[in-house]
Structures are given as structure tokens and as C-alpha cells.
Amino acid sequence: MTSYARITGTGSYLPPRRLTNNDLAAELAQRGIETSDEWIVERTGIRARHFAAPDVGSSDLALEASRQAIEAAGITAQDIDLIIVATSTPDMVFPSTAAILQNKLGITNGCPVFDVQAVCSGFVYALTVADAMIRAGTARRALVVGAEVFSRILNFNDRTTCVLFGDGAGAVVLEASEEPGILASDLHADGSHVGILCVPGHVSGGEILGSPLLTMDGQAVFKLAVGVLDKAARATLDKAGLTEADIDWLIPHQANIRIMQSTARKLKLSMDKVVVTVDQHGNTSAASIPLALDHAVRNGQVKKGQHVLLEGVGGGFTWGAVLLKM
């Protein structure tokens, strides 16, 4: 049995179309919806986001991020023996986006692949599952991806939600190692809060029943998020035998700068230790944490040997945290 699973490569991809708040406000104005850069920044910290072209799916974004992660790990696609994709916006009802990604990567070794659906906590969930499978000896090199095209499920007549989200993908290669890597994790869910953040529609008989667009009670999400993220972070640190003082970097789900600031305060961390990409990416759901991690690795913030705490919260209601030694 392997002692640890370590991240050996990271990658990310954003679709080329970038919309600033002013760009989005101009588009919404054509629908009779009023908003502004000032209104969006004040409430969320978001200044821009990326939207995928109509013919681009989550698997396409995942493909580009995966190629970068595989290259960074110094391996080939055929070395991958497990693929887990976290997404709430799959290419199809089935098969999984992971299966589609496996084919696009040209992986023919028959490795297991599947999707994880935990919305904005999806990457934390997927990383925890991959870690467990590597420790159990059922995989040695896992590709773990968060990929989303949330622009497809936004209600552009609701300015309280449509300004929040963007599209993108982030990926990591997780490998069996005798060196410490993933030190601890903590996952939770409470299905009694299904209604505060959901897309309640589904396909039946060739028709959409219910609404296929995102709906959210922002205040309820905020109140829940701050409390559960703090508890998950502390539980994860306790499992690893570490404290807040040992955290070199906090990489939270990039949903709202206010939630991120509140979480940092509770952990007694300066915002200088928090990786922030929400201003340029918006909320990319399951893609937000791996996008931010790759950004921080490539610009030299996150370095080998540092302790990095990842945490996410999303519809379900799901939440969790993972502590890494890079």
C-alpha cells in the first residue's frame, strides 16, 4: 500500500472570450437588465469572466487543462490509469465527461473513468476520491479535473446570478509517492439545503421539465458557506496534526471575495496568504480551485514543500477541504 498521493503537475484553461463587467453590463442592457461594474465589484469582487463558444463543451476545456497538467508532470497520457472529472455541466446526460475526455486524450489503456457531481465542491471531492484509490493501490497516476461551462445554465434576466459565473477548467496529475502529498481531507453534505442553489430542471420524454437555469438564494448560501468552510478547514488541519499557523497558502473556491475574506479571518490568515482569481475568472464552480492552484503554481506563489489548504462549498449543500504538501 502506497503511503501518499502527491500532485506532480497542474494545468488550466480559459476559453478565449473574456467579458469584463462593462462588457456584460452592455449585453444585459439590451435585455433591459441594469447592472454596472461598480455594483458587481462591490458585492462580489468579480471584474471579468470567460465564456465558452457555443460549440465548446466541458470536455474541450478539460482537454486543454489536462494536456498542460500531464506535460507538467513529465508523463504521457498513456501513463494515466484513472480519470475523475468534477463537473455540473457535462457534455451529455451520459456517457461521463471523463469518458469523452479519455477518448480525446487518446488514452487506450482501459483505465477507469467517471464524473463527480458535487457542484462547486466537486474538485475537492474528486481529489479525495483519487487520493483514496491511489492509497488503496487501485491506481498510480490519476488525472483529476474540474471543468465547467456555467454560461449555458445562467438566467441572463437575473442580474443577481448571471454576473457571478464563468467557464473554465483546471486539472492536476496525482501520483503515488513515498513523499507526503495529500495529508488530510474532510467532506460533508446536507441535502436539506437543496433548494438554495440548484438547477431544478431535467429531461423527460425529449422535453425539459422544470427550469434548466440556475437559481440561488445568495444570502442563505453566504451564511452557510462561511460557517461550514471554517469547520472543514479546522477538521482537516486536526487530522493532519497541524494548525492555522502551518498554512502557507489558502486556495478557497472562488465564489465571492466576501466569503473568501471571512474564511481567512476565521483562520487568522492574512489575505496575502490567500490565492485570489475570482476577480478575473468569476465563479467557475468545480473548475475554480484547480484553476487558482495552477495560476499560483505557474506564477511562483505556491512552491514545493509548502502546505496548501483547498476548500470548497457548493450546491447540495456540499462542502469540504483538502490539505496538501506540494
Cα–Cα dist 84/75, whole Å: 18
Least Cα distance to 314 among 157, 23, 119 occurs for 119
**Does the N-terminal peptide bond of residue 222 adopt cis geometry, omega within 30 degrees of 0?**
no
DSSP secondary structure string for all residues of 216-227:
E-HHHHHHHHHH
Helices (H) and strands (E) in the chain, counts: 10, 15
The H or E element spanning position 257 is helix 257-266
Amino acid code (one letter) for 63: L
Quick check: 64 and 169 in contact, CB under 8 A? yes
Cβ count near 277 (within 10 Å): 22
Least Cα distance to 30 among 157, 130, 145, 155 occurs for 157
State the cell numbers at 42.
462591490
Phi and psi at 165, nearest 5°, equal -110, 155
Quick check: 102 and 113 in contact, CB under 8 A? yes
Amino acid code (one letter) for 285: S
Cα–Cα dist 28/172, whole Å: 35
Cα–Cα dist 32/29, whole Å: 5
Per-residue H/E/C for 297-326: HHCCCCCCCCEEEEEEEECCCEEEEEEEEC
Please identify every residue annotated as catalytic.
120, 253, 283
SS3 label, residue 251: strand
